[in-house]
Amino acid sequence: MDQKTILSRLPYSQPFLFIDKIIAIDENAVSGTYTFPPDSFFYKGHFKDNPVTPGVILTECMAQIGLVCLGIFLLNKEKPAEAKTGVAMTSSEMDFFKPVFPGERVKVKSEKIYFRFNKLKCKVEMYDAEDNLVCKGILAGMMRK
């Protein structure tokens, strides 16, 4: 399954799509990038005079790349004919180490811990453009077609 097909099956659109590119994907891992546009809606009030990307948005970016894209890829291996995918995040545990500012590009790396009974659990990490760890954690979600 190619990047264009995976991205077309995502259940998101602008302004809530946080994926620019899938770099690599296989049955065990995915990596991708996103650049946070300086005019994004969430910067207007977070924080006044010093905008910083909210942790919940960083978590969402990691979930979209590291959980949903990988889940779409894995489900397609099971049943390639079906196109629509549903997802519900069931848990997240994140540690944050550095801020992400408007205009910054991040890279998300995700490794599958397990995928069974349509539940996907992954170890995810986010890095800045200088390859510094921004945040990391564990995400899990239910995938269905």
Q: Are strands 105-116 and 86-96 parallel, antiparallel or unpaired?
A: unpaired
Catalytic one of 7, 42, 46, 96: 46
**Token digits of residue 123:** 């170890």
pTM of the full structure: 0.94
Across residues 17-32, what is the average pLDDT? Answer: 97
Residue 50: per-residue pLDDT: 93
Q: Is 46 a catalytic residue?
A: yes
d(CA 42, CA 53): 7
Separation of alpha carbons 6 and 31, rounded Å? 13
Do 55 and 44 contact (CB within 8 A), yes or no?
no
User: DSSP alpha helices (H): ranges in 9-89?
Assistant: 55-63, 70-78
Q: Which domains does the chain have, with CATH numbers?
A: 3-144 (3.10.129.10)
For the ranges 79-83, 90-94, 107-111, the lowest mean pLDDT is seen at: 79-83
